[in-house]
A and B are shown apart, each in its own frame.
Chain A
Amino acid sequence: MGYNLDNKIKDTNKNNKNILPYGDTMNDGKVQLSFTLPVKNDEKGYQAALKTAQNMTLENVMIADSITLEEEFTMYIAYGTLTNGVNYDDIHVEEAVKHTLSKDEIEEKIKLHFDKPIVVVGASTGTDAHTVGIDAIMNMKGFAGHYGLERYKGIDTYNLGSQVENEDLVQFAKDKNADVLLISQTVTQKDVHIKNLIHLIELLEAEQMRKDFLVIIGGARITGSLAKELGFDAGFGPKKFAEDVATFFVEELINQKSIKNQ
């Protein structure tokens, strides 16, 4: 099978109704990938790799290299072209925070709307021992040039650290009359974080406390949609900082107040 891009590209104008991967020419649809099959590195394995790529709806598949990892395991580096693009205009994203406010703006809002500090309790929970993420959000120093919540006027923070049991977190939040819970989860293998997070939601519901706090999760593999699906108020992943989450909870708390006052 030959490998020829040219004859496939009909229209080199960018088309938002049919966005395709870009190699070196608009709409060439070029994709580069690697995968391993549990097969021998021989002609039959090669055919299996071709078909694997075709299963991903790739055309003009080229297996650039096949590398023996072990007798029965071969890694393939493959190229191919996609013709079926996505309709970019049709994609609508619901973001927890549309416009992130600056630290000053957030502090200003708190001063305007609240007569006592917002109490935020955070932890890395379950068996998770990773704290750098929650520290990045909460500690004075912050992360990558973004100060943490501890430095914000009008916010009282309690960072409980790592390996905190859900029960202990909830008890602590109750004692401190918290407004916001921040939960960090880093280890996601075999969905250990999902189990732990569901447990927290169930616990809050059992104690009829789910509505008492805004409950927000975060971590390298956490997304807003996962958070919603599990019953949390919001979720934040990489490249999100204190001001993102603070914008969210300050605005949300103001909303809740105005609903109550109506």
Chain B
Amino acid sequence: MSKLGLSQDKINQARQEAKIVADHTQAFIDKHTTDSVERTIVRLLGVDGINEFDIPIPNLVVDFLKHHHDPSIGIAQMLAYYIKKHNTTLDDIVAKITKETLPPQTIEPLSKEEVKKQLFPYYEKQMKAIVAQRATRDKFKQMHKLDRPMLYVIVATGNIYEDVTQAKAAAKQGADVIAVIRTTGQSLLDYVPYGPTTEGFGGTYATQENFRIMRKALDEVSIQEQRYIHLVNYASGLCMPEIAAMGAIERLDMMLNDSLYGILFRDINMERTFIDQYFSRVISAYASITINTGEDNYLTTSDALQEAHTVLASQFINEQFALRAKMPPHLMGLGHAFEIDPTIEDGFLYEYAQALMAREIFPEAPLKYMPPTKHMTGDIFKGYAQNTLFNIITSTTNQSIHLLGMLTEAVHTPFMSDRYLAIENAKMINQTMKHFGDEITFKKDGKIQSRAQNVLHDAHKLIKDINKDGLFDSLSKGVFAGIKRTKDGGKGRLGVYQKDPSYANPIIDDMLDSLKEVN
């Protein structure tokens, strides 16, 4: 029974509309591939490293395809062809491409079965590694279960070794999830940097080596604390699926992964990033990695009271996109946020309504609930009080991923002590209000119920409108976050190709096949 008096019919209708939105977009996605999708295939074949100019080998391999062949056949087709033709190994072909000693030939496309046959021995290793990582995580979590929201904090020093110090301290204080924030600007790089890094601005580079360093540190703390410490990074920006693959191999547990965020807040081309998102979500589903979507951010540029329904509409759409990637609901960390201006009368009631509404509509999703950011100011004392209100809602409406608010949000990236204070605040609320949510019901048609019903109503209406115009055109009208983006605009557009009939991606096929069994 809904405590908010939400109509299940209405919810179903909204979901149905969102399904059509996603289906239309998926039809486009299925016909196309991108530079980063192709580089991801190369990475999953086990190719890694950089050349003497720091250019990643996967980029060199895909550039070879683009310069000498028709990219629409895909990198798998090209590599399989050369391996077979030269009767040699992948390593040999990649080495020749890197040294510029491979004479380009006219490719007569192989059958898809043949492509798979040629490449399977290479990607099988990575697939197995991913499955093994999944098992390691499952086993640990099975042994040490958590019965409360996961406490999530960020580290953002720019230096992976300093991040490790901060992350370990936070985990020992009680954090369950550590997100290593990425450096500003990485989302627009069309390659993934390599190796350990110590220079970042507002965050640290996402590199496979940095993933490994942090994973190792958190595994140590997990064992000490007898509690699994989750690691988060960003499968977003122009290298979305590549980072998803790296994360799957290095056992990240959550990935921020939302093309809508990239379109709106980083001006990434929408066609590019929807195609990228699909592969990245398939990989994450296969690796049992929880995604975090980014609709909470809409409320930083548009008003939280007026535009609450845009968040819900986007959650419905994101849910459908995740389902298209065969991602089960328990991996859908749909985002929302506590961002109403703290001077608004009854603001707390509206926040409560919104949070509980999301919980009721997405009962299995590990909702990612974001703290106040926009209305945080230099008054850190007031900020601490704002965060307390947020914590009450998170705890008593049973949100799953509890992003802890920092009292210094408006001033700097967190100090060690800020994280400590945040964790203590959340623990106190979780402890003293543990069953508060179970104890209360809401006045029929009171402020809280009406608010939730209205938001649902408006969200349904918005999804219907999006359906009418199509998602791409709707985005160009500024339906989310008040930001307008055009289909042809944004970064990364040149890396989009229509697939040739001979196009092959045996890796995604295999992943999808095995996911059918999982679901």
Residues of A within 8 A of B (CB): 34-36, 67, 69-70, 73, 75, 127-129, 131-132, 135, 161-163, 187, 189-190, 192, 220, 238
B266 at the interface (CB under 8 A from A): yes
B105 at the interface (CB under 8 A from A): no
Q: Are B184 and A127 in contact (CB under 8 A)?
A: yes
Q: Are B158 and A131 in contact (CB under 8 A)?
A: no
Q: Are A73 and B416 in contact (CB under 8 A)?
A: yes
B residues 176-207 touching A (CB-CB < 8 Å): 184-185, 188, 199-202
Contacts of B200 in A (CB 8 A): 190
Minimum distance in angstroms from A168 CB to a CB of chain B: 13
Besides A163-B267, A189-B158, 16 more A-B contacts (Cβ < 8 Å) are A69-B169, A69-B420, A70-B168, A70-B172, A70-B416, A127-B184, A129-B265, A131-B301, A132-B301, A187-B202, A189-B156, A189-B202, A190-B158, A190-B200, A190-B201, A192-B202
> Whose C-beta in chain A lies nearest to the C-beta of B156?
A189
> Whose C-beta in chain B lies nearest to the C-beta of A191?
B201
Q: Which of A35, A73, A162, A220 contacts B410 (CB 8 A)?
A: A220
Q: Are A189 and B172 in contact (CB under 8 A)?
A: no
Contacts of B266 in A (CB 8 A): 129, 163
CB-CB under 8 A for A34 and B201, given A70-B172, A127-B185, A220-B410: no
B16 at the interface (CB under 8 A from A): no
Contacts of B185 in A (CB 8 A): 127
Q: Please, what's the 1-or-0 string for B155-176, where 1 marks a CB less than 8 Å from any CB in chain A?
A: 0101000000000110011000
Minimum distance in angstroms from B155 CB to a CB of chain A: 13
Q: Which of B301, B378, B417 contacts A75 (CB 8 A)?
A: B417
B residues 330-374 touching A (CB-CB < 8 Å): 374
Q: Are B417 and A128 in contact (CB under 8 A)?
A: no
CB-CB under 8 A for A187 and B201, given A34-B417, A70-B169, A127-B185: yes
User: How many angstroms from the CA of A73 to the CA of B173 in the assembled complex?
Assistant: 12
Contacts of B172 in A (CB 8 A): 70
Interface of B is mostly: loop
Contacts of A73 in B (CB 8 A): 169, 416
User: How many angstroms from the CA of A137 to the CA of B265 in the assembled complex?
Assistant: 19
User: How many angstroms from the CA of A68 to the CA of B377 in the assembled complex?
Assistant: 27
B467 at the interface (CB under 8 A from A): no
Minimum distance in angstroms from B191 CB to a CB of chain A: 16
Q: Are B415 and A36 in contact (CB under 8 A)?
A: yes
User: How many angstroms from the CA of A35 to the CA of B185 in the assembled complex?
Assistant: 31
Q: Are B412 and A189 in contact (CB under 8 A)?
A: yes
Minimum distance in angstroms from B6 CB to a CB of chain A: 32
Minimum distance in angstroms from A64 CB to a CB of chain B: 14
> Whose C-beta in chain B lies nearest to the C-beta of A71?
B172
> Whose C-beta in chain B lies nearest to the C-beta of A127?
B185
> Whose C-beta in chain A lies nearest to the C-beta of B413?
A189
Residues of B within 8 A of A (CB): 156, 158, 168-169, 172-173, 184-185, 188, 199-202, 265-267, 300-301, 374, 378, 410, 412-413, 415-417, 420
> Whose C-beta in chain A lies nearest to the C-beta of B203?
A189
Contacts of A161 in B (CB 8 A): 267
User: How many angstroms from the CA of A231 to the CA of B315 in the assembled complex?
Assistant: 46
Q: Which of B201, B301, B374, B415 contacts A127 (CB 8 A)?
A: B201
Contacts of A192 in B (CB 8 A): 184, 201-202
Minimum distance in angstroms from B183 CB to a CB of chain A: 8
Minimum distance in angstroms from A203 CB to a CB of chain B: 18
Contacts of A238 in B (CB 8 A): 378
User: How many angstroms from the CA of A75 to the CA of B168 in the assembled complex?
Assistant: 16
Q: Are A67 and B420 in contact (CB under 8 A)?
A: yes
> Whose C-beta in chain B lies nearest to the C-beta of A195?
B201
Contacts of A127 in B (CB 8 A): 184-185, 188, 201
Chosen A-B contacts, 13 in total, with CB atoms closer than 8 Å, are A34-B417, A35-B417, A36-B417, A69-B173, A69-B417, A70-B168, A75-B417, A127-B184, A129-B266, A163-B188, A163-B266, A189-B201, A238-B378
Q: Are A70 and B173 in contact (CB under 8 A)?
A: yes
User: How many angstroms from the CA of A35 to the CA of B416 in the assembled complex?
Assistant: 10
Minimum distance in angstroms from A49 CB to a CB of chain B: 13
User: How many angstroms from the CA of A23 to the CA of B265 in the assembled complex?
Assistant: 44
User: How many angstroms from the CA of A189 to the CA of B49 in the assembled complex?
Assistant: 29
> Whose C-beta in chain A lies nearest to the C-beta of B186?
A127
Contacts of A131 in B (CB 8 A): 301
> Whose C-beta in chain B lies nearest to the C-beta of A238?
B378
Minimum distance in angstroms from B510 CB to a CB of chain A: 36
User: How many angstroms from the CA of A75 to the CA of B199 in the assembled complex?
Assistant: 27
Contacts of A70 in B (CB 8 A): 168-169, 172-173, 416
User: How many angstroms from the CA of A127 to the CA of B202 in the assembled complex?
Assistant: 11
* A-B pairs, 8 with minimum CB distance: A127-B185, A70-B169, A192-B201, A75-B417, A127-B184, A189-B202, A36-B417, A187-B202
User: How many angstroms from the CA of A86 to the CA of B188 in the assembled complex?
Assistant: 48
User: How many angstroms from the CA of A220 to the CA of B376 in the assembled complex?
Assistant: 12
> Whose C-beta in chain A lies nearest to the C-beta of B377?
A238
Minimum distance in angstroms from A26 CB to a CB of chain B: 23
Q: Are A69 and B265 in contact (CB under 8 A)?
A: no
> Whose C-beta in chain B lies nearest to the C-beta of A189?
B202
Minimum distance in angstroms from B204 CB to a CB of chain A: 11
User: How many angstroms from the CA of A69 to the CA of B422 in the assembled complex?
Assistant: 12
Minimum distance in angstroms from B378 CB to a CB of chain A: 8
Q: Are B416 and A36 in contact (CB under 8 A)?
A: yes
Minimum distance in angstroms from A68 CB to a CB of chain B: 9
CB-CB under 8 A for A162 and B267, given A67-B420, A132-B300, A190-B158: yes
Minimum distance in angstroms from A196 CB to a CB of chain B: 10
Contacts of B202 in A (CB 8 A): 187, 189, 192
Q: Are B184 and A128 in contact (CB under 8 A)?
A: yes
Q: Which of B201, B300, B378, B416 contacts A69 (CB 8 A)?
A: B416
